[in-house]
Each structure stands twice: as C-alpha cells, then as structure tokens.
C-alpha cells in the first residue's frame, strides 16, 4: 500500500511561549523545531503498515525551506520519499494550504501513475490548530475522510479505522483511496537508528514550487492569554509535608 | 430575516452537554449580529425529534430536524452535506458549532463543500457588517490569535472552543418551531458512516476524575508509577502522566494529560516530577487546585501551582499514602 503523510514543522516551546514583536508568529529564536505530534504518529503508522504489507511511504510538507529538517527526520524513521512545498515562512491560511497541498498530491500521483491508497494527516496541527486542512484536501480529491483516528487496519480495497469517543471507539470502514486524520496515541513513534540517520542524509528532497490565493481567514495578531496569578504556598521541603497535604485533601473533601 | 444556524450534537437521542454551551454562545452571537438575526438550530439523525424541545428551551426560534436513512449514525460527510443543504435552503448568515471532535469535523466538511473559510475554536466573536473579527486559540489554548473572517457572499462558518463558553440557561425560551428537513444525500456518502462501536465500561475516566495523581519524567521508571497508583486509588482518583512518560513507554497514551492528551478538571491535581511545559499545562489548568511535587523550586509547575513541596517525589508520595492510611485507620 502506497501511503502519503502530510506533516507540519512547528516550534517546540517549553515553559513559556513568546510572540514576535509584530505579533505574526511565535518567537522561535531560541527554540528547536519538531514535527507536530499527531503527524509524527501518522508517519509511524504509515511506516509500520509499509513494513508489514509492503509499499512506499511519501512525506509531504508545506513550510519554510528549513522544514527540510522534518522531512529528513521522516526519512530517518522510514519514509521513502520526501517532498517540500516551500513557502516564504509566513503562516498560510487553511484554504491556501489545502489548495497547494492538493496540487502537490495530484502532481506526485501523476508522476507515480497511481493514487496514494491512503493519505494521512494529523487531526490538527499543534500550532495553529485549524482542524480543516485534511478535510479540504480530501474533498478536493473526491476521497472519503474521517478524523480523530486512533487505529488503522488496512483491508482489501478499504481500511478499517477506529475513532476515539468517550469510553471507546467508533469503527469506520472506508473504501480506498482514503484520507484519515490521525491522533497521537495510535502508536509510539520510534526514534531514528544510526543507520536511519545516515540514510536520511542521502534521501532525495523533491521540491514542488506551488502558490495559491489567500483564503478568507486572516491572522491579525498573536498574543499570550492573561497569566493566571498564582501564589504558590510551599508546604515543605521534605516528606514531613505529608501531614499538611493530607490536611488539604481532607479539607476539600476528597479523602472521604 | 437572516439566521444563525447552530449545529447541535447528540448520540441517537442522547443530548450532548456541549449543546448547552452551543446554545449559550449562539444566543449571544445572534444578539450581536446586525438586523435582528434569528436563532435556528439543527439536530440530525435518529432521535433528533425528541430533542427539539430542548433546543427550543435553549433559545432556538426554529429547530430543523434532519432525517434520512443515511443519518441514523454519525458520518462526517453525510452530516456536513446535510448542513450545507440546509444552510443554502434557509440562506443563513452563519453556521456555528462547538469545537468538539465532531463539531469541528462537521464544520470543516461544510467549509470544504462550500469552499468557504472556517475559523475553528473561537473564544469570542465580534460579528461585523462585512467581515467578522474573532479571538481564537492556538497551541490548544497556550496562545491566542486575533483573526478576521471574510466569507464574501457566503455564510460565516465558525466554532467556539469546547469549554470556551460557560453554559447558562436561556432567560426566555425560543419559539422552538419544529421543521422537518429531508436532505438529498448521494449514496456514496455512506462510505464514512460509523459501522460499529466498541464501548468499554466507563467508570471514573481521567477527564472526570475528582483527583488526578500524575507523574512525569521525574518518576524515573514504569515501576515508579506503582506508588502513584496506590495514592490515586486511596483517593478514588486516576493516574495521569506527561508526554515524556508516554514517549518513554512507561504509561499508555490514554493517561497523558495535555494538549495532545486529555484535558482534566479535578478537584485537585497532584503533579509529581513534571516540569510544567505549556503543552502539559493547558491540559491541567482547569484543575480546581494544583499541588506540585518537584525537586526543582524553579520548575514552571511549581510556579503555577497552588501548593508545592520541593522534594523528591519518591519520598513524599509514600509519606502521603502512609499518612492517609494512618488517618483512615487502614
Ligand atoms: C506540540 C507539542 C505538544 C505536546 N503535548 C504534550 C501533552 O499533551 N502533554 C505533555 O505532558 N507534554 C506535551 N508536550 C511535551 C512538553 O513540551 C514537555 O516536553 C513534557 O511535558 C515534559 O514532560 P516532563 O515534565 O515529565 O519532563 P521534564 O520536562 O523532563 O521534567 C521532569 C521534572 O521532574 C522533576 N524531577 C526529577 N526528578 C524528580 C524527583 N525525584 N522528585 C521530584 N521531581 C523530580 C524535574 O525537576 C523536572 O521538573 C508537547 C510538546 C509539543 C512540542
């Protein structure tokens, strides 16, 4: 089964998240970057399926040229092909992103001479969280999509997909070619091996220059939510604090 | 008269708690929209008719009940298509939902089908004559984005973030006029309808537990969680963890608290050996009280907690358990 995974490069902030002076992006001057967690799991799922059943895994990202780092990482954990749609680094709105990704997918499928049987997106990106790019792309391609997927079993001409709901799963059986929005927890992504790292350096980066018109959602300004003021009461510096802790548990009624 | 169409959720006739938020937000939005817009609600599928009264009580002037053999169980494409056809038939000015898993997915389907912009997870919305302004969440709530939405001649498509609005009863019920709606659904849409369900017994889940005792990298091993399990069970609570712990394979992802895990709201959150990265914090910040146990007095979790103990969790956690047992006479 040939699978395409669409991933996004995002900064990896720690205790605080800062915004640039112009309010247009996260201040990433001192931050590392990573692949959005849902997509990291989508990639792992694709690699596992390909290892088991054969087929190729292609990873596609739309982002700044630096997103090559995330594509090479993908190659280091098992992706066979990597494709970048370069942007100027500004945040593209969801409609613009979806149009460009669809075009990149159509071009890749034309070159392959066949459709990807499965396309995986993250359920939502870690940063902007628009909850829609995968759905828009699937619709443009005329393919089915279901989101919030935490289990995939490829079948013959279809995939069985489990969607997480309160206290269980809904089961979908979607005909291929299909698109799924995947959530973290579907698997535990592997770390790259030394051999994988070396192979990723040799992976051929394909670049697809595509632009698209801006959509109707426009970012005006990013800002941090107001800090919840907290006055931490230090109950102690060793295990003798246990008594004060249990007093509190008793007081708030969770000890009964 | 223009209308705001709010998409409500239910599971074969079981009302979703998110609907109370949806109607609360919709009443405000409709009041803020120009020219006295009317509040319409739509309920889709089996059992929807039984809930129409509740939608009316929540302020809906008109309750559309959409039915079709293909709408018995949830299917994102069939639901999205139904909302599109209703929105077009009623020429609504806006379609709104609460950004639950289904809410965001159905609105994304509507947006894709109508080729219109869709702004997800708003905190506040200021409707305007032409474009609308809103504040929405990024990073699962760690960052806010002021945005504008320009939909040309088409309806505005938006969701409010789940829990962004505090549900309140309507000051006065709406007229609640029930209108049946029969969409024309292409047979191909059956491809994304739920085939089966696998629902385990609920019990106390992480998201509803009154006490959550979490461990981070500081716990040091999978075995180290046994002490947290014991404390949690004494308190009728559940064990949670950080993503570092999930990635190390010490706990299952179902225990992960945070942006890409579960959002919790216990009476007290006991966070041990967790540094308090923003992506963890957004999942924990709805806790009524937080107790951090950490060797690092500078840890973000300590700074944001109500109470903290600056010590080794491997000493403090067993001491709490022992003290509870002593007081309970166990
Ligand atoms: C897009 C994105 C999404 C993410 N989503 C999530 C999410 O949903 N949930 C989540 O948790 N994280 C998430 N993360 C990861 C997050 O950024 C942090 O890496 C993670 O939360 C750190 O886990 P930790 O606190 O256990 O580990 P660390 O940051 O390593 O902290 C360990 C803490 O343990 C303390 N400690 C060590 N030993 C002891 C001891 N013996 N006794 C007491 N204290 C001790 C240390 O002082 C330190 O504060 C996400 C990251 C990204 C980029």
Tell me if chain B has a CB within 8 Å of the CB of A236.
yes
Kindly report the number of other CB atoms within 10 A of residue B14's CB atom.
10
Residues of A in contact with B140 (CB under 8 A): 126, 129
Between A227 and A41, where is the model more confident?
Answer: A41
Average pLDDT score, chain A: 96
pLDDT greater than 90 at residue A137: yes
Pick from B223, B286, B295, B299: nearest CA to B259: B286
- Kindly determine whether residue A242 and residue B275, on different chains, have CB atoms separated by under 8 Å: no
Residue A96: pLDDT band (50, 70, 90) is: very high
Average pLDDT score, chain B: 96
Which CATH fold topology does A2-207 show? Answer: Rossmann fold (3.40.50)
Radius of gyration, alpha carbons of chain A: 21
Specify whether B222 is located in the same domain as B91: no
What's the pLDDT score for residue B201? 65
Q: What angle do CA B173, B179, B182 make, to 5 degrees?
A: 145
Residue B157 exposure: Cα atoms within 13 Å on the Cβ side: 31
Residue A230: pLDDT band (50, 70, 90) is: confident
Mean pLDDT, residues B180-202 taken together? 92
Work out how many CB contacts closer than 8 A connect A with B.
275
pLDDT greater than 80 at residue B211: yes
Q: How far is CA A22 from CA A14, A19, A216, A242, in A?
A: 21, 8, 21, 48
Mean pLDDT, residues A129-138 taken together? 98
Tell me phi and psi for residue B88, to 5 degrees. -70, -45
Check if B141 has its Cβ closer than 6 Å to any atom of ligand 1: no
Whether residue A101 contacts residue A4, with contact meaning beta carbons closer than 8 Å, is answered with no
Tokens of A246: 């249990």
Mutation pick for ligand 1 pocket among B206, B207, B218, B250 (CB with most ligand atoms within 8 Å): B218
Query: Which distant-in-sequence residues (6+ apart) come within 8 Å of A219 by Cβ?
Result: A24, A91, A93, B145, B146, B147
What's the pLDDT score for residue B271? 98
ipTM computed for the complex: 0.96
Q: How far is it, in rounded angstroms, from Cα B185 to Cα B44? A: 13
- Tracing tokens 């799922």 back to the chain, one arrives at A45
Specify whether B23 is located in the same domain as B106: yes
- Kindly determine whether residue A232 and residue B318, on different chains, have CB atoms separated by under 8 Å: no
Mapped to the 3 state alphabet, what secondary structure does A119-131 carry?
Answer: EEEECCCCCCCCC
Specify whether B219 is located in the same domain as B125: no
Percent with pLDDT over 90 in chain A? 94
Final residue in a domain of this structure, among B160, B192, B224: B192
Check if A12 has its Cβ closer than 6 Å to any atom of ligand 1: yes
Residues of A in contact with B99 (CB under 8 A): 131
What's the pLDDT score for residue B12? 84
What's the pLDDT score for residue B96? 98
Q: How far is it, in rounded angstroms, from Cα B81 to Cα B186? A: 9
Q: How many helices (H) and strands (E) would you count in chain A?
A: 6, 13
Chain B, window 270-309: residues with a beta carbon less than 8 angstroms from a chain A beta carbon:
275-279, 285, 288-289, 291-292, 297, 300, 302-309
Query: Which distant-in-sequence residues (6+ apart) come within 8 Å of A135 by Cβ?
Result: A145, A147, A181, B76, B105, B108, B109, B111, B112
Specify whether B183 is located in the same domain as B217: no
Specify whether B157 is located in the same domain as B9: yes
Provide the number of structural domains found in chain B.
2
**B3-57: per-residue pLDDT in tens?**
999 999 998 899 999 999 999 999 999 999 977 899 999 999 989 999 999 999 9
Residues of B in contact with A221 (CB under 8 A): 145-146
Mean pLDDT, residues A16-21 taken together? 94
**B140-152: per-residue pLDDT in tens?**
999 999 999 999 9
Specify whether B168 is located in the same domain as B31: yes
Residue B202: pLDDT band (50, 70, 90) is: low
Residue A41: pLDDT band (50, 70, 90) is: very high
Residues of A in contact with B112 (CB under 8 A): 98, 132, 135-136, 138-140
- Kindly determine whether residue A219 and residue B276, on different chains, have CB atoms separated by under 8 Å: no
Alpha carbon of B143 to ligand 1 centroid (Å): 19
Q: How far B91 CA sits from the closest chain A CA (Å)?
A: 19
Mean pLDDT, residues B226-238 taken together? 97
Alpha carbon of A74 to ligand 1 centroid (Å): 24
Enumerate the β-bridge partners of residue B39. Answer: B4
Q: Which residue, among A25, A127, A131, would best test binding to B if mutated, counting the most B CBs under 10 Å from its CB?
A: A131
Mean pLDDT, residues B214-228 taken together? 98
Final residue in a domain of this structure, among B137, B165, B192: B192
Tokens of B251: 């706990």
B48 sits in which H/E element: none
Specify whether B181 is located in the same domain as B77: yes
A62 sits in which H/E element: strand A57-63
The pTM (predicted TM-score) of the whole model is 0.96
Tokens of B272: 């041990």
For residue B198, being part of any structural domain is answered with: no
Residue B199: pLDDT band (50, 70, 90) is: confident
**B95-135: per-residue pLDDT in tens?**
999 999 999 999 999 999 999 999 999 999 999 989 999 99
Residue A76 exposure: Cα atoms within 13 Å on the Cβ side: 17
The domain that holds B172 is classified in CATH as 3.40.50.620
Specify whether B217 is located in the same domain as B187: no
Q: How far A86 CA sits from the closest chain B CA (Å)?
A: 23
Specify whether B18 is located in the same domain as B133: yes
What's the pLDDT score for residue B1? 64
Nearest CA in chain A to B289: A252
Q: How far is it, in rounded angstroms, from Cα A101 to Cα B292? A: 44
Tell me if chain B has a CB within 8 Å of the CB of A156.
no
Tokens of B157: 């498509």
pLDDT greater than 90 at residue A227: no
Q: Which residue, among B9, B11, B101, B136, would best test binding to A if mutated, counting the most A CBs under 10 Å from its CB?
A: B101
Tell me if chain A has a CB within 8 Å of the CB of B186.
no
Specify whether B188 is located in the same domain as B63: yes
Tokens of A239: 């295990």
Tell me phi and psi for residue A149, to 5 degrees. -90, 130
Q: How far is it, in rounded angstroms, from Cα B272 to Cα A88? A: 42
The domain that holds B238 is classified in CATH as 3.40.50.1220
Kindly tell me the sign of the dihedral angle through the C-alpha atoms of B226, B228, B232, B237. Answer: negative
Check if B294 has its Cβ closer than 6 Å to any atom of ligand 1: yes
Q: How far B212 CA sits from the closest chain A CA (Å)?
A: 11
Specify whether B163 is located in the same domain as B249: no
Tell me if chain A has a CB within 8 Å of the CB of B111.
yes
Q: How far is it, in rounded angstroms, from Cα B65 to Cα B74? A: 15
Q: How far is it, in rounded angstroms, from Cα A17 to Cα A216? A: 27
Q: How far B25 CA sits from the closest chain A CA (Å)?
A: 20
What's the pLDDT score for residue B283? 96
pLDDT greater than 80 at residue B270: yes
- Kindly determine whether residue B141 and residue A225, on different chains, have CB atoms separated by under 8 Å: yes
Residues of A in contact with B114 (CB under 8 A): none
Percent with pLDDT over 70 in chain B? 99
**A200-216: per-residue pLDDT in tens?**
999 999 999 999 999 99
Domain range for B310: 211-328
Tokens of B101: 């898993």
**A146-168: per-residue pLDDT in tens?**
999 999 999 999 999 999 887 78
pLDDT greater than 70 at residue B159: yes
What's the pLDDT score for residue A166? 78
Mean pLDDT, residues B276-298 taken together? 97
């Amino acid at each position: 089964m040939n699978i395409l995974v669409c991933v996004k490069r995002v900064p990896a902030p720690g205790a605080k998240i800062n915004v640039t002076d112009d309010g247009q992006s996260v201040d990433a001057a001192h931050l590392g970057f990573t692949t959005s967690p849902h997509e990291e799991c989508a990639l792992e799922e694709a690699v596992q399926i390909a290892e088991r059943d054969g087929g190729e895994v292609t990873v596609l990202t739309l982002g700044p040229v630096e997103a090559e780092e995330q594509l090479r990482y993908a190659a280091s954990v098992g992706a066979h092909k990597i494709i970048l749609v370069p942007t100027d680094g500004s945040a593209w709105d969801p409609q613009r992103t979806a149009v460009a990704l669809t075009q990149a997918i159509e071009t890749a499928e034309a070159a392959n001479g066949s459709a990807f049987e499965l396309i995986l997106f993250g359920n939502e990106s870690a940063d902007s969280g628009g909850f829609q790019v995968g759905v828009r792309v699937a619709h443009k391609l005329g393919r089915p999509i279901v989101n919030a997927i935490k289990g995939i079993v490829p079948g013959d001409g279809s995939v069985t997909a489990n969607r997480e709901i309160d206290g269980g799963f809904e089961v979908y059986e979607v005909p291929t070619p299909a698109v799924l929005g995947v959530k973290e927890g579907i698997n535990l992504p592997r770390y790259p091996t030394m051999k994988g790292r070396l192979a990723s350096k040799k992976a051929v980066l394909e670049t697809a220059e595509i632009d698209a018109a801006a959509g109707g959602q426009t970012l005006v300004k990013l800002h941090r939510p107001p800090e919840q003021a907290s006055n931490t009461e230090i109950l102690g510096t060793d295990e003798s604090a246990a008594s004060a802790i249990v007093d509190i548990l008793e007081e708030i009624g969770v000890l009964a | 008269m223009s209308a705001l169409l709010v998409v409500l959720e239910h599971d074969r006739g079981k009302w979703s708690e998110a609907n109370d938020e949806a109607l609360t937000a919709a009443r405000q939005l409709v009041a803020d929209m120009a020219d006295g817009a009317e509040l319409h609600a739509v309920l889709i599928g089996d059992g929807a008719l039984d809930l129409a009264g509740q939608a009316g009580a929540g302020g809906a002037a008109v309750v559309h009940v959409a039915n079709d053999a293909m709408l018995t169980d949830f299917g994102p494409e069939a639901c999205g298509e139904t909302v599109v056809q209703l929105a077009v038939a009623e020429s609504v000015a806006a379609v709104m939902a609460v950004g639950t898993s289904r809410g965001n997915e159905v609105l994304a389907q509507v947006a894709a089908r109508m080729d219109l912009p869709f702004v997800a997870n708003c905190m506040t919305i200021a409707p305007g004559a032409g474009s609308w302004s809103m504040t929405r969440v990024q990073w699962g709530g760690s960052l806010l984005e002021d945005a504008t939405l320009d939909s040309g001649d088409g309806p505005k498509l938006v969701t409010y973030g789940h829990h962004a609005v505090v549900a309140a009863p309507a000051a006065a019920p709406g007229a609640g006029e029930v209108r049946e709606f029969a969409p024309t659904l292409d047979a191909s849409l059956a491809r994304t309808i739920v085939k089966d369900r696998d629902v385990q017994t609920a019990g106390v889940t992480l998201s509803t537990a009154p006490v959550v005792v979490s461990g981070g990298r500081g716990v040091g091993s999978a075995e180290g969680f046994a002490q947290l399990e014991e404390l949690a069970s004494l308190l009728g609570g559940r064990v949670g963890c950080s993503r570092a712990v999930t990635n190390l394979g010490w706990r299952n992802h179902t225990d992960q608290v945070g942006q890409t895990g579960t959002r919790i709201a216990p009476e007290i959150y006991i966070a041990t050996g967790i540094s308090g990265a923003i992506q963890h914090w957004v999942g924990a910040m709805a806790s009524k009280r937080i107790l951090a146990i950490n060797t690092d007095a500078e840890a973000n979790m300590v700074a944001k907690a109500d109470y903290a103990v600056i010590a080794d969790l491997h000493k403090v956690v067993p001491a709490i358990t022992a003290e509870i047992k002593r007081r309970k006479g166990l």
